[in-house]
Chain A
Amino acid sequence: MTRIRFREPSIIPGFRLTFGFTILYLFLIVIVPIVGLYMKTFELDWPSFWRILTGSRFQAALKLSFGASLLAALFNVVIGLLIAWVIVRYRFFARRLVDAIIDLPFALPTAVAGIALTALYVPQGWIGRLFSPYGITIAYTPLGIWIALVFIGLPFVVRTVQPVLEDFNAEVEEAAATLGASRLTTIVRVILPALLPAILTGFSLAFARAVGEYGSVIFIAGNIPRQTEILPLLIVFRLEERDYAAASAIAAIMLTVSFLILLLVNLIQSWSNRRFGNV
């Protein structure tokens, strides 16, 4: 029988110290707050918890938050891939500048982004004006929320795919070409599958960020109950009412759903890593 060992022998010293610190740190910074959140939720009795869960306002916000985040993250996967491709594969004037601009949504305070986006997309705004003749309103609708989430999620996919694409062996593409594959076939059947793990990572980062986003969304959302309210906003409302247990109940549900989605993405990823390994 093989003995299951807690750690493999290693010649690198300092395991106890570094591992101990890691666990302590994670415990204090991540685990304790999350446990506290769930504990707070248990102050509610089941009927009131159930009332929050089935409340129409909560349900609408739940669907909007996760739906808009999912769509925004998916959209960012497509656009992010395209941008990463352009930055990595072509040499053009101001390539460095474009590369730097990608990070702006990271750097910009989200409230500033929210105000700027709102000003642009209201019916009188520079961009909103182009759409209002066709009866399309962007600001104060789910569409506006989606745009804000696309904005803040953009860098994630670009930054995760970019290094993998840079390392992609040109010989593999040439091999596909010598075997008769057209450019499109090569991209679809050879390059994209190789980028899949990075794409999944980018997707989950963009998605997680979008679900938790508050600052940029509340300005452009308009916050109409049951229509353009996002979950974080509901939490703020409950807090303002000093109903901390209800606030933490909403937060706990959000956390659980997010966790399950990210877990799923991670499982897909580790499956693909196991399969393809690292050649």
Chain B
Amino acid sequence: MELGIRDVRKEFNQYPALHGVSLDIRPGELIALLGPSGSGKTTLLRLIAGLDFPTSGQILFGDEDASNKTVQERNVGFVFQHYALFRHMNVADNIGFGLKVRPGASRPAKAEIRRRASELLDLVQLSGLEKRYPAQLSGGQRQRVALARALAIEPKILLLDEPFGALDAQVRRELRRWLREIHDTTGHTTVFVTHDQEEALELADRVVVMSQGRIEQVGTADEVYDQPNSPFVYGFIGESSSLPVRVANGELWLADRAIGLGAQDVPDGDAILYFRPQEIELLDGCGGCIAGTVAASRRVAGSRRVELKIGGQREQVEIELPVGHPAAQQSRVAFRPRRYKVFPAKAT
């Protein structure tokens, strides 16, 4: 099922939560809505589900305008962060609920519902737990049941709201891989919300980066990581360091020295330089480089993170060095980013 979002606006008591968002989702795609809290990602997901209605704009399911359809009519699978299982029903009844509440003619026979429930339990790898109650399951198991329940109604699209947010890191990684497998098996168009960039980048075909009710960038993991199109995306996805610079004559200047980097067509004036701490090269002499005094250095997993104070300014940047690299012991370090991006200062 293709999903179209056309210029959707949503206001809560006059306070805008989404400003005219448009997005096209291809059939069978796995899409992540990624952003900090308050970015409008959950609002967008709820609008797609029909749990809320847009102030203006359209939501298209295929060629059909679903904007005014009720949540019951939309036939979407929705998975909540805190599972939202029916705790007075056992696992099989939870999964069969969507089929059991169908009106007369379209309701499958009891045996069929039972068969379908155990089939889905197999899919989510919880075979044999039909008779358990939600209280008797672990968090990860509950979320699997919630997914099976959502899949039981053969939804047109599958929507997941921070599905792994309440689980610990280990279970999270496991379920992430498993969700990808389920998606590849069932082929549902899937949209999930997360604030965890690692989750979004690893899992999704395309990532939609959102901030303050707007879509900042839509792209594959490679695109949003390697070619961020705004300071927000650069700062939000992956590690980044930034440094205020000045553009003049198509070159970047720090105080009164050129640092040997091109201006990337940014007009003359104040600008901000973004780079990844690990994408730098160390230099010996400094004829066109960024030089700073070491303020602190920390061991981070497989590398060493060094904080540098730049020039006489109070600016600090972080760079990453291999463990045991002699530069970390020095008091002054000179480097130049191998890859970087310049944005005009006012854009931030």
Contact = CB atoms under 8 A, between A and B. Distances in A.
Pairing of A with B: yes
Interface of A: 169, 171-172, 174-182, 185, 189-190, 193-194, 196, 272, 275-279
A194 B72 contact: no
A272 B87 CA distance: 11
Contacts of B98: 179-181
Contacts of B136: 277
Given A169-B82, A178-B71, A277 B51 contact: no
A169 B134 CA distance: 15
Contacts of A278: 135
Given A176-B97, A179-B97, A275 B84 contact: no
A194 to B, nearest CB: 6
Contact of A185 (B71, B75, B89, B101): B101
Contacts of B71: 174, 177-178
Contacts of B82: 169, 171
Interface in B134-184: 134-136, 146, 149-150, 152-153
B75 A180 contact: yes
Contact of B88 (A171, A174, A182, A193): A193
A139 B50 CA distance: 53
Contacts of A185: 101
Contacts of A177: 51, 71-72
A176 B136 CA distance: 21
B17 interface: no
A179 B149 contact: yes
- By Cβ-Cβ distance, the 10 closest A-B pairs, closest first, are A277-B135, A179-B98, A171-B84, A178-B78, A175-B84, A193-B88, A279-B87, A181-B101, A177-B71, A171-B80
A171 B160 CA distance: 13
B231 interface: no
A74 B134 CA distance: 30
Contact of A178 (B51, B85, B87): B51
A276 B97 contact: no
B72 A190 contact: no
Interface in B104-155: 133-136, 146, 149-150, 152-153
18 contacts: A171-B80, A174-B71, A174-B78, A175-B146, A176-B86, A179-B97, A179-B101, A179-B152, A180-B72, A180-B75, A180-B153, A194-B87, A276-B135, A277-B135, A277-B136, A278-B135, A279-B134, A279-B135
Contacts of A175: 78, 80, 84-86, 146, 149
Contacts of B153: 179-180
A251 to B, nearest CB: 39
Contacts of A178: 49-51, 71-72, 76-78, 150
Given A179-B98, A180-B102, A276 B80 contact: no
A230 B49 CA distance: 58
A91 to B, nearest CB: 13
Given A178-B49, A180-B75, 16 more contacts: A171-B84, A174-B80, A174-B84, A175-B85, A178-B77, A178-B150, A179-B98, A179-B152, A180-B102, A181-B101, A190-B86, A193-B88, A193-B89, A276-B133, A279-B85, A279-B87
Q: Which of A175, A180, A189, A196 has the largest count of B CB atoms less than 10 A from its CB?
A: A180
A278 to B, nearest CB: 7
A268 to B, nearest CB: 14
Nearest to B87: A279
A189 B135 CA distance: 18
Contacts of A194: 87-88
A171 B71 CA distance: 13
A171 B86 CA distance: 10
Contacts of B87: 194, 276-277, 279
B51 A189 contact: no
Interface string B166-210: 000000000000000000000000000000000000000000000
Contacts of B97: 176, 179, 181, 189
Contacts of B146: 175
Given A178-B76, A178-B77, A276 B101 contact: no
Contacts of A193: 86, 88-89
Contacts of A172: 84-86
A272 B133 CA distance: 12
Contacts of B152: 179
Contacts of A180: 72, 75, 98, 101-102, 153
Nearest to A177: B71
A244 to B, nearest CB: 49
A178 B71 CA distance: 6
B101 A189 contact: yes
Contacts of B50: 178
A189 B97 CA distance: 10
